[in-house]
């Protein structure tokens, strides 16, 4: 089954199942939160990093802001086996829908509001780290200038935080 074959709409069990499968053989994990908190729902990835509790030593969360390519050095130095990029992205679904996407699936998709296309970024990360990379994409409702997340995205963010902490913090 393809990594992004299942679209998740606020189903914590399905999200947990997808992440558990993707995290198989994970030794060190980087959670890269991407986004611009001044563009409403685009700040989802950054907000996630800020809300995660104390993580185990083999996991780090990095606020990559809207220019994630500038964080390749710290990501590479952590020596990750897995990199999970979390970003609001136009995946053509209803607001708050979540999809776990492999780098190969990003080809031809206009996913992000950021300068560097996510496919270029993921390819570069793989080349620099040899890590397994995936994008946890959340369909935004609003990416206009403004602070704060829409209610749908706020609810999805709470779900993601609960699932990630449940998997990683034991």
pLDDT tens digits, one per residue of 60-87: 999 999 889 999 999 999 999 999 999 9
Task: Examine the pLDDT at 109 and tell me if it is beyond 60.
Answer: no
Question: Does 40 score more than 70 pLDDT?
Answer: yes
Task: Report if residue 148 sits inside a domain.
Answer: yes
- Cα distance between the two ends of the chain: 29
Q: How many percent of the chain have pLDDT more than 90?
A: 71
Residue 11 has which token pair? Answer: 């189903």
Q: Is residue 48 part of a domain?
A: yes
Write down the pLDDT at residue 7. Answer: 47
| Residue 93: inside a domain | yes
Indicate the pTM of the whole model: 0.90
List, in order, residues 6 or more apart from 1 with CB less than 8 Å away.
none
* Structural domains counted in the chain: 1
The two tokens of residue 22 are: 């993707």
Average pLDDT of the segment spanning 22-49: 96
Confidence label for 57 from pLDDT (cuts 50, 70 and 90):
very high
Q: Reply yes or no on whether the pLDDT at 8 is more than 80.
A: no
Distance CA 135, CA 69 (A): 15
Residue 52's CB is within 10 A of a number of other CB atoms, namely: 17
CA angle 35, 59, 154 (to 5 degrees): 40
- Given a cut of 50, whether residue 6 has pLDDT beyond it is no
- The answer to whether position 22 is within a domain reads no
Strand partners, 33: 63, 86
At residue 2, the pLDDT reads 41
Rounded Cα distance between 161 and 12, Å, is: 10
Please choose, from the candidates 168, 101, 159, 89, the residue with its C-alpha nearest in 3D space to the C-alpha of residue 132: 101
123: containing domain: 7-15+29-168
**For residue 24, how many other CB atoms are within 10 A of its CB?**
8
Domain-embedded: residue 21: no
**pLDDT mean over 150-166:** 95
Position 106 scores a pLDDT of: 76
Let me know if residue 86 belongs to a domain.
yes
Q: Which of 111-115, 128-132, 138-142 has the lowest mean pLDDT?
A: 111-115
Do residues 122 and 106 make contact, with C-beta atoms less than 8 angstroms apart? yes
In a domain, 2, yes or no: no
What is the CATH classification number for the domain harbouring 132? Answer: 3.40.50.1450
Give 5's pLDDT tier (boundaries 50, 70, 90). very low
Closest C-alpha among 21, 48, 22, 23 to residue 35: 48
DSSP H helical segments within the chain, as ranges?
12-22, 44-51, 72-77, 118-129, 151-168
Task: Classify residue 77: in a domain, yes or no.
Answer: yes
């Amino acid at each position: 089954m393809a990594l992004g074959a299942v679209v998740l709409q606020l189903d914590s069990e399905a999200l947990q199942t997808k992440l558990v499968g993707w995290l198989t053989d994970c030794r060190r994990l980087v959670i890269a939160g991407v986004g611009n908190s001044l563009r409403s729902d685009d700040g989802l990835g950054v907000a996630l990093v800020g809300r995660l509790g104390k993580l185990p030593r083999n996991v780090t969360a990095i606020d990559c802001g809207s220019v994630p390519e500038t964080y390749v050095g710290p990501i590479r130095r952590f020596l990750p086996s897995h990199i999970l990029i979390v970003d609001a992205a136009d995946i053509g679904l209803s607001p708050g829908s979540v999809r776990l996407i492999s780098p190969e699936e990003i080809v031809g998709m206009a996913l992000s509001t950021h300068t560097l296309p996510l496919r270029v970024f993921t390819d570069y990360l793989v080349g620099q780290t040899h890590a397994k990379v995936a994008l946890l994409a959340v369909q935004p409702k609003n990416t206009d200038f403004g602070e704060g997340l829409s209610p749908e995205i706020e609810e999805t963010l709470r779900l993601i935080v609960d699932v990630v902490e449940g998997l990683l913090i034991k």
